[in-house]
Amino acid sequence: LGSRRYSTTLLLSTLLLVSFINMAGAVSKMMDKLFASCSGDPKGSVHRAWGLTLLFVLGYFIFSIFEMININRAKETGSKALVLASIHSGIVHLILAVLGTFVLKRFPTSFSVGFFLGTLIIVANQNLILFGVFHQYQQGTIGTNLAFANLSLVLFLILGFFSLLLLHFRQDVVVAAVDTSKESSPTKDVEARSEAML
């Protein structure tokens, strides 16, 4: 009975893995079609998309300051937690702008691009949560709260799209580290070790 249960579990796991691999192939084909217009200049497309994303991120930072002031005006009914959430999200977006520009322009290794992708996904999900929280918030100016919530939703969509673009073209963005020193090369190191052994 135990080995039968084990073989059934193994069979189901194998079928799940095969279906996941087939699904990954379908997703890859779909992303190829989605970003077909960018495939001529993938690195340039990623950089232009990041420039456009930066405009929204910096606008979000500025608007988060206005939202903080708006909630602070309602001294007795305003939530201090939401004041902290609005300014914290603005600072996180400012850090994201600096981090993303540094990674894409100066240090595009596979680790840093992967780290940046993870950060993008986390911040995008944070924006979706902020949309849900500020959309229903009634203290302060309701119009400002709704504008901040809607901007959070728009930024969620923009960061999500940019994450897909960067994920699709990550191999074109990543630059391998090159050793430019003339003193150290693999053949010279091997020759030096073999001479030392003699």
Residue 23 or 102, more confident? 102
Pair 67, 151: CB distance under 8 Å = no
CA–CA separation, 70 and 49 (whole Å):
31
Residue range 45-71, pLDDT digits in tens: 889 999 999 999 999 999 999 888 888
**pLDDT at position 55:** 95
Structure-token pair, residue 130: 């902020």
State the pLDDT at residue 80.
Answer: 83
Cα distance between residue 173 and residue 62, in whole Å: 30
CA distances in angstroms from 176 to 36, 72, 108, 153, 168, listed in the order given: 25, 48, 8, 35, 18
Cα(80)–Cα(82) distance, integer angstroms: 5
Mean pLDDT of the chain: 81
What are 95-152's pLDDT values in tens digits? 999 999 999 998 888 899 999 999 999 999 999 999 988 888 777 678 888 899 999 9
pLDDT confidence bin for 91, thresholds 50/70/90:
very high
Structure tokens at 54: 């930066």
What is the per-residue pLDDT for 158?
Answer: 95
Window from 28-32, 84-88, 89-93, 193-197 with minimum mean pLDDT: 193-197
Residues found in the chain: 198
If one counts every other C-beta atom within 10 angstroms of the C-beta of residue 177, the result is: 8
The pTM score is 0.74
Terminal C-alpha separation, the chain: 64
For residue 185, what pLDDT band results from cuts at 50, 70 and 90? Answer: low
Structure tokens at 148: 């901040």
Q: Which of 159, 150, 147 is nearest to 53 (CA)?
A: 159
**The one-letter amino acid at 179:** D
| pLDDT surpasses 80 at 179 | no
What is the model's pLDDT at position 120? 94
**Position 15 pLDDT exceeds 90:** no
- Distance from CA of residue 17 to its chain's centroid? 26
Contact 131, 156 (CB under 8 A): yes
SS3 content of the chain, % helix, strand, coil (to 5): 80, 0, 20
